């Protein structure tokens, strides 16, 4: 077992839950309160049932903040689009293992663009499926709800999946960010942190109500 690595805890508010009529303003408020990342869910209506937004919106809101744009692609054939997402402002690009036939090539493609590389898996995908890719990526996103809709309840079995993912990374001696997305709020963030997650995506619990207060309360627990 390698020596335990100290890593930074990060809040990544998901704009899917924000008021789109004043989206830039809401992003600036979250950033000013201390959010380090901005999480952007791109959904195509094929890989997941919902359709969200794409490159024009990301390019537009890029002017609102210099925070890390944490782009989560819930789309088929992500390799067709990663260059365009980089060009419109993505700093970190996360794709789903289930959505590509050649994860190694896609990792290399994203890396060559100068972006951080993230890989995500759905709740039904065995956590062991990502093991061989961990040395090549910067972040593993463990979905804690079925992807495609905001406002869902956290799946309790996710806690053990997070713990197993962190255990694999530690065994390999990898300084890996583990992100969680889905049903995480101020009342249960301690559960995922204790299991080994360090990048927390939260939408409704940040953008519903007082954004500044919500972010500061989250940050205080990280």
Secondary structure, 3-state, 59-111: HHHHHHCCCEEEEEEECCCHHHCHHHHHHCCCCEEEEEHHHCCCHHHHHHHHH
**Which of 19, 41, 44, 104 is flagged as catalytic?**
41
Task: Return d(Cα 107, Cα 217) in angstroms, integer.
Answer: 35
CA angle 102, 108, 109 (to 5 degrees): 85
104 flagged as catalytic: no
41 flagged as catalytic: yes
CA dihedral over 100, 85, 37, 211, signed as positive or negative:
negative
**Which of 70, 175, 181, 213 is flagged as catalytic?**
181
Residues with catalytic function = 41, 181
């Amino acid at each position: 077992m390698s020596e335990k690595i100290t890593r930074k805890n990060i809040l990544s508010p998901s704009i899917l839950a924000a008021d789109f009529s004043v989206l830039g303003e809401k992003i600036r408020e979250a950033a000013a309160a201390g959010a380090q990342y901005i999480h952007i869910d791109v959904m195509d209506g094929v890989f997941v049932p919902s359709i969200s937004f794409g490159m024009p919106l990301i390019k537009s809101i890029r002017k609102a903040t210099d925070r890390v744009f944490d782009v989560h692609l819930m789309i088929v054939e992500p390799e067709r689009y990663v260059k365009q997402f980089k060009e419109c402002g993505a700093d970190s690009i996360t794709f789903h293992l289930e959505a590509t036939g050649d994860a190694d090539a896609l990792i290399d493609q994203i890396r060559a663009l100068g972006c951080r590389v993230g890989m995500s898996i759905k709740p039904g995908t065995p956590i062991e499926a990502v093991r061989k890719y961990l040395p090549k990526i910067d972040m593993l996103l463990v979905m804690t709800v079925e992807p495609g809709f905001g406002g869902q309840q956290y799946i309790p079995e996710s806690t053990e999946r997070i713990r197993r993912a962190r255990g694999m990374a530690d065994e390999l001696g990898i300084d890996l960010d583990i992100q969680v997305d889905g049903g995480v709020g101020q009342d249960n963030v301690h559960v995922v942190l204790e299991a080994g997650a360090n990048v927390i995506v939260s939408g409704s619990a940040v953008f519903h109500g007082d954004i500044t207060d919500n972010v500061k309360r989250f940050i205080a627990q990280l």
